[in-house]
Amino acid sequence: MKAKPSTVASADISSAGISKKKDDKKIPPFLFIICVARVAEIQERGRRSLKKRMKGLAALALVFFMAAAFAVDSANASGELIYLCINDSFITGLTSSNMPIKINNSIYIPYRYLARIKPIKYFYDEDSNILKVYNTSATIIFDVGNHITYDQNSKIYSYLAEKRNGVLYVPIEFICRVFGAYYSQFSSSFGTVVRINSIMSSFSDEKLVSENREVMQEIYDKYMKDSKPPEDTVDPPPTPEPGQTETPSVRKTVYVAVLGAVNDSSYEISSRASAYNLKVTFFLEKEGMKENSDTLRAIVCRGHSIGLYVSAGDPLGEAEELNGLLSGLVMRKSRIVCIKEGSAALTADQRRQLTDSGYRIWDAAVDPTGGRNSYAVAQNASNLLSRGPRTLVLRLRSDEKCAGAAGTVFAGLTGGSYTVREIKAWTTPVNSIRYYN
């Protein structure tokens, strides 16, 4: 009985792309198995490659979608109008550069609006980048450059002032809480409203919006009209002169502290500083204060700062006594002290008593006064300033040597490598760990 011809082999080979002719020789079984396995491998590779391409396209689409969503969200956030109402009066003429903004889910306003919140006052020193906000009962100092905020008792707060596009913003809810002003933030049909009141008001938040619908509509219309995106303009980079190379200069910040009694030398030092348009700080002791009250008044009239030079034995008692003398002679008090033995000589209790009473402790760490004469003092000062830290306190004494060197020292400080600042009550102390001498 003849066996029927196999149709499986013929069908499988045909599907593998191999045509069989009548005069072809029979394919060996092992070769047939290899061909089938090879075809299956090629097909599996194709499927894997397609899956990889599909996964890559899906990931790319997801990234694109997230980027687009972020761009849309950022655009909405930057274009959100936030109304500002101070003592029931809406601020008109709001633009993206002067309206309240959100930073870390907190509302910040440009610091100049604080002038409308009576009786809060402020003083901003652009040179030191320090904003002082105060009234008769409290003081808050925003040290923008050093990223620190503290009060009159040196208590540190986590709320910082922020600069955005050249505008200084302050955390208004924090300020209202410190100075006892009313603060409210709520949503309306026009948008978010920030409300601040330092006087009594008969309006609720809802009533305030209802009474000022036309004003808010005008603010909105003007804001949308003026919110056109600026055209990008790029200035061409300056062309350097042939053979000329630019070396960036690093300016050092120097506080000049003059320590000692009120005498003829302190008068001379203050006069030399004023001649170079510099403001320095005189840490004064009790000696000679009454006898040389004219010199003391001259120092104050020239705009120099006054500090207290006290010993580590009873720093708080001496500081209070000196403030009593200053108040009677020049109607001034000071909250900055320098310890004769250095602040390291204070106990923890003494330091706490001073800071709790509102005093700030300074050390004058760069001391060039060990020279034998005025020339040596001036040379020492020049050398120490050049190799000292970027922010330092230069110590001079109210004696004849320093008075004779003052002109040379101050001339060197005005040469362009240094920024000289006076010490204010709200200035963050710069106390070096070691002395430079």
252-421: which CATH topology?
Answer: TIM Barrel (3.20.20)
Residue intervals of the chain classified under CATH 3.30.457.10 are 82-225
Domain 82-225 grouped into CATH 3.30.457.10: yes
Tokens (6 digits) for 139: 């003081």
* Residues 6 or more apart whose Cβ sits within 8 Å of residue 372: none
Beta strands, E only, 16-113: 82-86, 89-90, 101-103, 106-110
Single pTM value for the model: 0.49
Q: What is the pLDDT of residues 404-427, one digit of tens each?
A: 999 999 999 987 789 998 888 777
Give the 3-state secondary structure of residue 253: strand
Q: What is the pLDDT of residues 344-364, one digit of tens each?
A: 899 999 998 998 888 989 988
Q: What is the pLDDT of residues 231-277, one digit of tens each?
A: 555 555 555 555 554 444 568 889 999 999 999 999 999 999 999 99
pLDDT for res 66 = 47
- Give whole-number Cα distances, 206 to 92, 183, 203, 293, in Å: 19, 15, 8, 60
pLDDT for res 44 = 62
The answer to whether residues 437 and 271 touch, using CB atoms and an 8 Å cutoff, is no
pLDDT for res 47 = 61
DSSP H or E stretch at residue 169: strand 167-171
Give the 3-state secondary structure of residue 394: strand
Q: What is the pLDDT of residues 129-150, one digit of tens each?
A: 899 999 988 999 999 988 889 9
Residue intervals of the chain classified under CATH 3.20.20.370 are 252-421
Total residue count of the chain as it appears in this document: 437
Beta strands, E only, 228-314: 252-260, 281-284, 305-310
User: What is the pLDDT averaged over residues 59-67?
Assistant: 47
User: What is the pLDDT averaged over residues 53-73?
Assistant: 47
